[in-house]
Amino acid sequence: MSTIILDFEKPIVELERKISELREHAATTGVNLEPEIKKLEEKLQKLIVKTYSNLTRWQRVQLARHPDRPYTLDYVKRICSQFMEVHGDRHFADDKAIVAGLATIDDQKVILIGHQKGRKTKENLERNFGMPHPEGYRKALRVMKLAEKFKRPVVAFIDTPGAFPGIGAEERGQAEAIAKNLFEMAKLRTPIIVIIIGEGASGGALGIGVGDRLLLLENTWYSVISPEGCASILYHDATKAPLAAEAMKVTARDLEELHIADEIIPEPPGGAHRDPDQMAAVVKERLLFHLHELQQIPIDVLIEQRIAKYAAMGSWEE
Shortest distance, CB of residue 204 to another protein, whole angstroms? 9
CB-nearer residue toward another protein: 100 or 250: 250
Q: Which residues of this protein are in contact with another protein, per CB under 8 A?
A: 163-167, 169-176, 178-180, 182-184, 186-187, 202-203, 206-207, 210, 222-225, 229-230, 233-235, 243-244, 247-250, 254-255, 258, 260, 306-307, 310-311, 313-318
Minimum CB separation from another protein for residue 1, in Å? 34
Q: Which amino acid would we find at residue 196?
A: I
**What is the spatial distance between Cα 269 and Cα 267, in angstroms, rounded to a whole number?**
6
Q: Which residues pair with 214 in a beta bridge?
A: 194
* 299 CB-contact burial (10 Å; exposed 0-12 / middle 13-18 / buried 19+): middle
Q: What is the DSSP-derived secondary structure letter of residue 68? A: T
- Least Å distance, CB 124 to another protein, is 15
Residue number, 37 or 179, with CB nearest to another protein:
179
Toward another protein, which CB reaches closer, 44 or 248?
248
CB of 297 to another protein, least distance (A): 17
Among residues 202 and 219, whose Cβ is nearest to another protein? 202
CB of 171 to another protein, least distance (A): 5
| Distance in Å, CB of 63 to another protein, minimum | 18
Nearer to another protein, 13 or 179 (CB): 179
Query: Of the two residues 108 and 232, which places its CB atom closer to another protein in the complex?
Result: 232
Q: Helix (H, G, I), strand (E, B), or coil: what is residue 47?
A: helix
* Residue 109 φ then ψ, to 5°: -100, 120
- CB–CB of 111/144 below 8 Å? yes
Residue 259 · residue 313 · CB < 8 Å: yes
Rounded CA-CA distance 219/217 in Å is 6
The CA-based dihedral angle spanning residues 4, 200, 101, 68, taken in that order and rounded to the nearest 10 degrees: 10
